[in-house]
């Protein structure tokens, strides 16, 4: 399969973070998923800050190679890092150790701050690597990869339908919000706002149920029996072997820094 054809399949997802073809698009999805999982485990199990910094640098490198959209990627990372910031504030007061400062009778420790920094580095490295390698895989390719990995069929279908129709739910929500603004609705902290939001959520649930019934009927008309069949072409190539060797070297080196 050529780079352009493979790229068009790889960017079929509604929630892609990259719209430009990259070298990673020609890599077999199975290789990318397995390598990313092993990388994530090696990062999560690590405790040495130099190794975690290297992991984050590797993830940044993969993000650059994947040509992720900078603003969209940064926005999603910031959404996670807001929680990480709260963690950095709370952990020093919950872990015993050498005192940094005291406030209102509570003592913050260097060990707690260090633990919070480690968790933040791990989360950013793993999530950024997922963005670079997994989010650029087409939905059909990802589902076929999960079939090859012997993931339960129902779980695959649940994930596949979620990826496929989550954008439809978002579009329905935006359409209902536009209709509310057209009727001069203004968001506020009052009973009318909460009641209107309740109606909005209820209407979305009703619309989702109606759409799901139509989808099931359409699928049954096309012979759907509850089993997912994979038709995505996957073939292990020389570039996949080189990618596997490269990722293996990186993971071994990161593990060496963690446990040396």
DSSP code per residue over 19-80: -S--GGGGS-HHHHHHHHHHHHHHHHT---HHHHHHHHHHHHHHHHHTT--HHHHHHHHHHH
Round to whole Å and give the CA distance between 228 and 247.
Answer: 30
Which 3 state secondary structure label does DSSP give 244? helix
pLDDT in tens, 127-143: 999 999 988 888 888 88
Whether 12 and 88 map to the same domain: the answer is yes
Whether 33 and 121 map to the same domain: the answer is yes
pLDDT band at residue 70 using 50, 70 and 90 as cut-offs: confident
Instruction: Indicate if the alpha-carbon torsion angle 87, 91, 92, 98 is positive or negative.
Output: negative
- The two tokens of residue 8 are 């068009």
Q: What pLDDT, on the 0 to 100 scale, is given for residue 19?
A: 62
Assess if residue 70 is contained within a domain. yes
Q: What pLDDT, on the 0 to 100 scale, is given for residue 36?
A: 93
Assess if residue 69 is contained within a domain. yes
Round to whole Å and give the CA distance between 6 and 45.
Answer: 34
Nearest to 31 by CA among 251, 253, 247: 247
Q: Is the distance from CB of 110 to CB of 95 less than 8 angstroms? A: no
Helix (H) or strand (E) holding 101: strand 99-103
pLDDT in tens, 74-116: 888 898 889 888 888 888 888 787 777 776 677 788 888 888 8
Q: Is the distance from CB of 46 to CB of 52 less than 8 angstroms? A: yes
Round to whole Å and give the CA distance between 114 and 98.
Answer: 11
Assess if residue 13 is contained within a domain. yes
Whether 19 and 94 map to the same domain: the answer is yes
Q: Residue 102 — left, alpha, or beta (φ > 0 → left; ψ -120 to 50 → alpha)? A: beta
Assess if residue 229 is contained within a domain. no
Q: Which domain holds residue 179?
A: 147-221
Q: What pLDDT, on the 0 to 100 scale, is given for residue 47?
A: 86
Burial class (CB in 10 A: 0-12, 13-18, 19+), 231: exposed
Whether 14 and 85 map to the same domain: the answer is yes
Assess if residue 212 is contained within a domain. yes
Percent of the chain at pLDDT exceeding 90: 23
Per-residue CA distances from 175 to 98, 164, 179, 187, 195 (Å): 54, 18, 6, 16, 18
Whether 12 and 127 map to the same domain: the answer is yes
Assess if residue 12 is contained within a domain. yes
Q: How many domains does the chain have?
A: 2
Whether 30 and 127 map to the same domain: the answer is yes
pLDDT in tens, 206-249: 988 888 889 888 888 988 877 777 777 778 889 999 999 999 99
Whether 121 and 12 map to the same domain: the answer is yes
Whether 217 and 240 map to the same domain: the answer is no
Whether 151 and 72 map to the same domain: the answer is no
Which 3 state secondary structure label does DSSP give 99? strand
pLDDT band at residue 18 using 50, 70 and 90 as cut-offs: low
């Amino acid at each position: 399969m050529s780079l352009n054809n493979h790229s068009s399949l790889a960017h079929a997802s509604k929630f892609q973070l990259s719209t430009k073809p990259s070298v990673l698009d020609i890599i077999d999805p199975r290789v990318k998923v397995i390598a990313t999982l092993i990388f994530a485990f090696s990062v999560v199990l690590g405790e040495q800050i130099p190794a975690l910094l290297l992991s984050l640098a590797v993830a940044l490198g993969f993000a650059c190679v994947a040509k992720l959209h900078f603003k969209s990627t940064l926005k999603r990372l910031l959404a996670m890092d807001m929680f990480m910031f709260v963690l950095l504030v709370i952990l020093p007061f919950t872990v015993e150790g050498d005192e940094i400062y005291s406030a209102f009778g509570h003592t913050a420790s260097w060990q707690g701050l260090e633990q919070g920094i480690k968790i933040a580095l791990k989360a950013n490295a793993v999530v950024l690597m997922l963005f670079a390698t997994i989010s650029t895989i087409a939905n059909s390719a990802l589902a076929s990869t999960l079939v090859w990995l012997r993931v339960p069929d129902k779980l695959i279908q649940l994930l596949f339908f979620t990826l496929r129709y989550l954008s439809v739910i978002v579009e329905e929500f935006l359409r209902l919000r536009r209709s509310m603004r057209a009727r001069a609705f203004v968001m506020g902290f009052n009973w009318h706002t909460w009641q209107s939001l309740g109606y909005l959520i209820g209407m979305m649930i009703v619309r989702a149920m109606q759409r799901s019934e139509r989808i099931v009927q359409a699928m049954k008309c096309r012979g759907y029996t509850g089993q997912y069949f994979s038709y995505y072409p996957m073939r292990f190539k020389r570039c996949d072997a080189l990618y596997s060797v490269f990722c293996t070297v990186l993971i071994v080196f990161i593990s060496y820094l963690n446990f040396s």
